[in-house]
């Protein structure tokens, strides 16, 4: 009898759950007074617009239907429709996008902004325990995840879309495939539907005033029961990266086991006005009745304007096509830097000058690298930097925001790093001393960025100019590896070939000086010199106490042999450091600086050593049989020989410093 009662109770609960799932339905024609759960920067404007992000960089915003929805063990069919818009301050440059998503929790406090869309972070992205389904509307091209900078994707527990397509719709009258711009500043309709019997997910887009197309943009067969829990939350997420954008939801409807109710488009709130005001009517009256003198002045003005445009005309080559949306006008960058005033100058490098600038519309602080006219390698180095760093995305790399090409002008646009370059802290007197915690964090940041370049991106990138002056520090003193003017990339499995040696003396690996062939291990050699430089605050080639030129790795190696590593630490650190960490970094610097490439670790191994996941190998064994080893005979430069690890070093024409 008790068994029958339990069975009846279970059946009743199942029936109640099933009935509840049948009745979940809601419609918001605008959000004035709506009961939603908001977090991050999301808020509802007075006119009823749901604004997920405001005009601020590096933020998240979330909006949830407040109650959980019972999708059941076998995920019920569902349908949702919404109207959205993305508005950027700069027409040519948008921030990251937004997503409709289904999540087991309303707590997304661990999610990161930028490329993670406020849904994941670099640790849990792709983790099957996330139980998150989303449809992304993304406006930034991250080669690791995305097909382009204007796409729609179906995501399962990850930002690497299971299926994606460029934003578009199929016109019902002609069946033609019509492109849509997610950053057009116009409202767009979207439908996301799941049919449980067929396990079919579809996504459809259309312009605001058109009916729902019969053919969806995306159709993906997948059983959501393997991802979603019984009870889930539905909502929207968005984030911004270095550039700010506003993400809006104008209306939203949802229904389980049936088509989502229609949204009343006539009652939706208005988007903020962004288009310029119409031309004055006076102009239409004055122009037809203008005198011959006025016409002559106008023609003269047009002639001079065309001549000026010809002087600074911009050309587009084949390699620029994929990178086109990030192209800035010379006029905007000229205004941003106040005409490249000397007071805006941040630094001078081998190929030109770097200026601080403020974009005229978005007011975003940027760094503008202006290549010199006299540089014969200017075009080649410029193209190298655009092609390599332009598609890279990593928290420890300086982000390239865009570029400009005019006649005689080559400019690159970067994130502005308010704390400047690391070498100013190691050698200058105007910057405060970095403590050991900060230095160790910088070292690990540079190592993480190099690992991404060598192994974690779609191609192998060899930086070829790793040094303290190319490591920039953001507002939190996080390391950002920059200056990719010498970088080279190649497909995995291909043997890279170069024809001449480039880089900075003291960081150049001996085999590179001999053969001119750059590899990831030549970057590792430079990284080893960088490690010793950060700990000792001495350049790889520097003047010793007696005025003689010294090789830093030789000096450190000699102190290691005599057990006096503490004597070479930057005295400004005092005794405020962890001896185990410092000892490990110095020894890793020596291992990475080994004259034989085969004895050096990969960057993945170097990161494991720095994180303490793997113990360092025995330094004595690694440097065995190298008491008097000729490191390299530098072909193409002035010849000189280094004795390694002996501290006696002969030079012929070697230039100290950088």
Active site residues: 465
Phi, psi at 576, each rounded to 5°: -90, 70
Residue 283: other Cβ atoms inside 10 A: 8
Give 650's strand partners.
641
| Alpha-carbon distances, residue 445 vs 285, 440, 609 (angstroms) | 63, 9, 13
Distance CA(407)–CA(513), nearest Å, equals 36
Buried b (16+ CB within 10 A) or exposed e, 225-237: eebbbeebbbbbb
* Residues 65/102, Cβ–Cβ less than 8 Å: no
Query: Which residue in the block uniquely carries the two structure tokens 């488009």?
Result: 265
Buried b (16+ CB within 10 A) or exposed e, 68-99: bbbbbeebbbbbbbbbbbbbbbbeebbbbbbb
* Residues 71/114, Cβ–Cβ less than 8 Å: no
User: DSSP 3-state assignment of 422?
Assistant: coil
Q: Which two tokens stand for residue 159?
A: 């930002």
What one-character DSSP code corresponds to residue 277?
Answer: P
Nearest 10 degrees: CA dihedral of 490, 493, 495, 501? 40
| Alpha-carbon distances, residue 61 vs 126, 572, 621 (angstroms) | 21, 43, 54
Strands (DSSP E) contained in 290-374 are 345-349, 352-358, 365-371
Distance CA(288)–CA(562), nearest Å, equals 91
**Which of 462, 482, 468, 467 lies closest to 401 in space, CA to CA?**
482
| Alpha-carbon distances, residue 412 vs 277, 370, 399, 480 (angstroms) | 32, 7, 11, 16
Name the strand (E) or helix (H) holding 554.
helix 552-561
Distance CA(654)–CA(657), nearest Å, equals 10
Q: What is the CA radius of gyration of the chain?
A: 30
Residue 56 Ramachandran class (φ > 0 left, ψ -120 to 50 alpha, else beta): beta
């Amino acid at each position: 009898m008790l068994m029958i009662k339990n069975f009846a109770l279970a059946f009743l609960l199942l029936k109640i759950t099933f009935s509840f799932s049948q009745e979940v339905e809601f419609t918001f024609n605008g959000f004035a007074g709506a009961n939603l759960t908001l977090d991050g920067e999301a808020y509802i404007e007075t006119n009823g617009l749901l604004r997920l992000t405001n005009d601020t960089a590096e933020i998240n915003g979330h909006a949830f239907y407040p109650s959980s929805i019972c999708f059941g063990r076998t995920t019920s069919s569902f349908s949702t429709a919404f109207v959205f818009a993305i508005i950027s301050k700069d027409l040519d440059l948008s921030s990251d996008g937004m997503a409709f998503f289904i999540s087991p929790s309303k707590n997304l406090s661990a999610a990161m902004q930028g490329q993670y869309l406020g849904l994941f972070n670099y640790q849990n992205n792709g983790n099957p325990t996330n139980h998150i389904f989303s449809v992304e509307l993304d406006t930034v091209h991250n080669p690791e995840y995305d097909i382009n900078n204007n796409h729609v994707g179906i995501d399962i527990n990850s930002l690497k879309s299971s299926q994606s397509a460029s934003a578009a719709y199929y016109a019902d009258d002609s069946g033609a495939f019509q492109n849509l711009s997610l950053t057009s500043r116009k409202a767009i309709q979207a439908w996301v539907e799941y049919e449980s019997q067929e396990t079919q997910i579809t996504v459809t887009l259309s312009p605001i005033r058109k009916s729902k197309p019969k053919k969806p943009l995306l159709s993906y067969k997948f059983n959501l029961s393997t991802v979603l829990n019984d009870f889930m939350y539905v909502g929207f997420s968005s984030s911004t990266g270095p550039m700010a954008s506003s993400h809006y939801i104008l209306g939203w409807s949802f229904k389980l086991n049936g088509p989502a109710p229609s949204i009343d488009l006539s009652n939706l709130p208005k988007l903020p006005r962004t288009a310029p005001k119409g031309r004055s009517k006076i102009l239409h009256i004055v122009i037809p009745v203008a005198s011959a003198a006025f016409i002559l002045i106008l023609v003269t003005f047009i002639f001079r304007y065309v001549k000026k445009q010809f002087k600074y005309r911009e050309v587009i080559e084949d390699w620029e096509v994929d990178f086109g949306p990030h192209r800035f006008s010379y006029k905007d960058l000229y205004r941003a830097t106040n005409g490249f005033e000397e007071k805006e100058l941040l630094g001078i490098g081998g190929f030109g000058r770097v200026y601080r600038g403020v974009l005229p519309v978005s007011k975003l602080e940027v760094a503008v690298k202006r290549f010199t006219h006299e540089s014969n390698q200017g075009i080649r180095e410029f193209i190298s930097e655009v092609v390599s760093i332009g598609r890279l995305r990593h928290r420890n790399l300086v982000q390239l925001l865009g570029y400009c090409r005019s006649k005689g002008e080559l400019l690159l646009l970067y994130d502005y790093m308010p704390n400047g370059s690391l070498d100013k802290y190691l050698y200058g007197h105007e910057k405060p001393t970095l403590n050991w915690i900060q230095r160790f964090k910088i070292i690990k940041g540079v190592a993480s960025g190099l690992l991404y370049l060598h192994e974690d991106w779609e191609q192998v990138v060899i930086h070829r100019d790793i040094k303290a002056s190319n490591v920039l520090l953001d507002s939190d003193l996080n390391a950002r590896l920059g200056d990719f003017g010498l970088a080279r990339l190649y497909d995995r499995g291909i043997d890279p070939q170069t024809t001449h040696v480039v880089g900075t003396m003291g960081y150049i690996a001996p085999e590179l000086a001999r053969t001119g062939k750059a590899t990831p291990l030549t970057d590792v050699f430079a990284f080893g010199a960088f490690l010793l430089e950060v700990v000792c605050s001495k350049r790889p080639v520097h003047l010793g106490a007696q005025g003689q030129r010294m090789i830093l790795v030789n000096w450190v190696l000699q102190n290691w042999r005599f057990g006096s590593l503490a004597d070479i630490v930057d005295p400004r650190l005092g005794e405020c450091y962890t001896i185990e960490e410092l000892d490990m970094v110095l020894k890793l610097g020596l291992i990475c600086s080994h004259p034989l490439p085969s004895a050096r670790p990969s960057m993945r191994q170097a990161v494991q050593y720095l994180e303490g996941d793997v113990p360092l190998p025995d330094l004595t064994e690694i440097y065995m049989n190298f008491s008097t080893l000729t490191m390299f005979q530098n072909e193409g430069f002035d010849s000189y020989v280094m004795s390694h690890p002996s501290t006696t070093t002969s030079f012929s024409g070697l230039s100290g410093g950088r």
